[in-house]
C-alpha cells in the first residue's frame, strides 16, 4: 500500500494524483495469472453453520450447476457466515481436488482441471515466462530448478525443458512469500501495479477532485464512503436470519482479540449515512 501509494485520502479530502498518461486498463498479466492466485487458497468443502453448530459439509462440485440450495431461506446467511469464518488455505503448489478433478462435472464422473486451464490461458494470452517477470520486478532470474527445492524442482524439471519455460502462474504460486505477505514479490508487484493504475489513471476514480472527475462526490459524501468496510457491506446485505454478528475486519480471522464478533448494529462497524445523497 505504501510503496505503490494505494492508501485512500483521509476525511473529506480529494485526491490530486490523477495522471492522464497512465493506462488504466487491466493488465494481461494481472487478469491471466497474478490475480488467479486465489485458486490455490480455495478449500474444496463448504462448512455450513446454523445458529450454534455446523449443520453440513458440502463438496463444492456437488453444488455446481445445482442451485436448489439457494431457495432455502437461511442459505444466503449460511454462505456469508461460512466465507467470513473459515480460514483460507496457503498460496502454494496445492489445489483442492474439487478444482482440479471435479470442477463443473455436472453429474459426470470427472470435471475440468482449473490448474491446466490457468496454464493454458496464460499461453493463449501470450504471457512471457515467469523468469522475465521476476527480472522485471527487480529479482534475480532463476538459474536452476534446484532453487525451488529438491522435490518441487524435480517435478518442474519433469515437465519443463528449462527454467525459462516456467509459466507465470506456476512460478508465481511457488515463489517464497514476501515479508509477511500471502504472495511472493512477483505477484505482489503485478497486483499492486494494477491497483495503482486503476487509482491514478482513471479520472472517474471516486476520490479524484472536481477538476478531473465529472462525476465527483462532495467532500461530505467522500467522508462517508471512506467509512465503508467489507464487514459493513456484509451486515447490510445479510438476510438477518442466521448472520447477526460480524467481526469488524472481515479479512482477518474472526473471534480473536482485537477482532471479536460484534452485533451488526454496533458502531464499531461504521454505517454509511445516506443523508448526504439526499436531493
Does 181 fall in a domain?
Answer: yes
Does 183 fall in a domain?
Answer: yes
Does 126 fall in a domain?
Answer: yes
In this predicted structure, the answer to whether residue 18 has a pLDDT above a threshold of 90 is yes
Range of the domain at 141: 21-36+89-202
- Helix, strand, coil share of the chain (percent; to 5): 40, 10, 50
Does 196 fall in a domain?
Answer: yes
Question: Comparing 39 with 88, which gets the higher pLDDT?
Answer: 39
Binding positions for heme b are 39
d(CA 30, CA 164): 20
pLDDT at 279: 81
Q: Give the pLDDT band of residue 60 (cuts 50, 70, 90).
A: confident
* pLDDT > 70: percent of the chain: 100
Cβ neighbour number for residue 129 with a 10 Å cutoff:
20
d(CA 187, CA 127): 14
Q: What's the Cα-to-Cα distance from 157 to each of 160, 179, 209, 254, rounded to whole Å?
A: 5, 28, 52, 41
Mean pLDDT of the 87-103 span: 92
Q: Give the pLDDT band of residue 107 (cuts 50, 70, 90).
A: confident
Q: Give the pLDDT band of residue 68 (cuts 50, 70, 90).
A: confident
Beta strand 45-49 with 245-246: parallel, antiparallel or unpaired?
Answer: unpaired
Lowest-confidence segment of 27-31, 46-50, 86-90, 179-183 by average pLDDT = 46-50
Longest dimension (CA), the chain: 66
Question: Comparing 249 with 70, which gets the higher pLDDT?
Answer: 249
pLDDT at 67: 83
Q: What's the Cα-to-Cα distance from 131 to each of 27, 35, 123, 138, rounded to whole Å?
A: 18, 18, 15, 11
Does 114 fall in a domain?
Answer: yes
Binding positions are 39
d(CA 101, CA 106): 12
In this prediction the pTM is 0.92
Are 230 and 236 within 8 A, CB to CB?
Answer: no
Query: Can you read off the three cell numbers belonging to residue 220?
Result: 461530505
Does 162 fall in a domain?
Answer: yes
Residue-wise pLDDT for 195-232, tens only, equals: 999 999 999 999 999 999 999 999 999 999 999 999 99
Cβ neighbour number for residue 176 with a 10 Å cutoff:
9
pLDDT at 257: 93
pLDDT at 245: 93
Mean pLDDT of the 230-251 span: 94
Contacts of 164 (CB under 8 A, 6+ apart): 129, 131, 141
Nearest 5°: the CA angle 61, 117, 162 is: 135
- First and final CA of the chain: distance in angstroms? 35
Does 273 fall in a domain?
Answer: no
* Mean of all residue pLDDT scores within the chain: 93
Place of cell 505477484: 187
Does 135 fall in a domain?
Answer: yes
pLDDT at 48: 86
Nearest 5°: the CA angle 132, 120, 168 is: 20
Alpha helices in 160-229 (DSSP H): 168-174, 185-201, 219-225
In this predicted structure, the answer to whether residue 86 has a pLDDT above a threshold of 90 is no
Ranges of beta strands (E only) in 150-267 are 245-246, 262-263
Backbone angles phi, psi at 244, to 5 degrees: -110, -20
Residue-wise pLDDT for 147-176, tens only, equals: 999 999 999 999 999 999 999 999 999 999
In this predicted structure, the answer to whether residue 75 has a pLDDT above a threshold of 80 is yes
Place of cell 534475480: 140
Residue-wise pLDDT for 176-200, tens only, equals: 999 889 999 999 999 999 999 999 9
In this predicted structure, the answer to whether residue 52 has a pLDDT above a threshold of 80 is no
- Total of domains in the chain: 1
Amino acid at each position: 500500500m505504501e510503496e505503490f501509494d494505494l492508501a485512500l485520502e483521509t476525511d473529506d479530502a480529494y485526491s490530486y494524483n490523477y495522471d492522464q498518461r497512465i493506462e488504466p486498463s487491466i493488465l494481461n498479466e494481472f487478469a491471466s495469472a497474478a490475480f488467479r492466485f486465489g485458486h490455490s487458497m480455495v478449500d474444496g468443502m463448504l462448512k455450513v453453520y446454523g445458529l450454534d453448530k455446523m449443520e453440513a459439509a458440502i463438496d463444492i462440485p456437488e453444488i455446481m450447476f445445482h442451485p436448489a440450495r439457494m431457495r432455502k431461506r437461511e442459505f444466503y446467511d449460511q454462505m456469508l457466515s461460512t466465507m467470513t469464518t473459515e480460514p483460507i488455505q496457503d498460496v502454494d503448489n496445492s489445489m483442492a481436488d474439487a478444482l482440479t478433478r471435479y470442477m463443473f462435472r455436472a453429474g459426470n464422473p470427472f470435471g475440468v482441471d482449473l490448474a491446466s486451464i490457468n496454464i493454458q490461458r496464460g499461453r493463449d494470452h501470450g504471457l512471457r515466462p515467469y523468469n522475465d517477470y521476476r527480472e522485471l520486478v527487480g529479482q534475480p532470474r532463476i538459474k536452476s530448478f534446484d532453487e525451488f527445492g529438491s522435490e518441487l524442482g524435480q517435478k518442474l524439471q519433469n515437465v519443463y525443458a528449462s527454467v525459462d519455460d516456467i509459466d507465470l502462474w506456476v512460478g508465481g504460486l511457488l515463489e517464497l512469500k514476501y515479508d509477511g505477505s500471502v504472495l511472493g514479490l512477483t505477484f505482489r508487484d503485478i497486483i499492486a501495479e494494477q491497483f495503482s493504475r486503476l487509482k491514478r489513471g482513471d479520472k472517474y476514480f471516486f476520490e479524484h477532485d472536481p477538476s478531473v472527475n465529472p462525476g465527483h462526490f462532495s467532500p461530505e459524501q467522500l467522508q462517508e464512503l471512506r467509512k465503508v468496510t467489507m464487514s459493513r457491506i456484509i451486515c447490510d446485505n445479510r438476510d438477518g436470519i442466521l448472520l447477526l454478528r460480524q467481526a469488524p475486519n472481515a479479512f482477518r480471522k474472526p473471534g480473536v482479540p482485537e477482532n471479536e464478533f460484534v452485533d451488526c448494529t454496533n458502531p464499531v462497524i461504521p454505517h454509511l449515512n445516506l443523508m448526504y445523497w439526499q436531493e
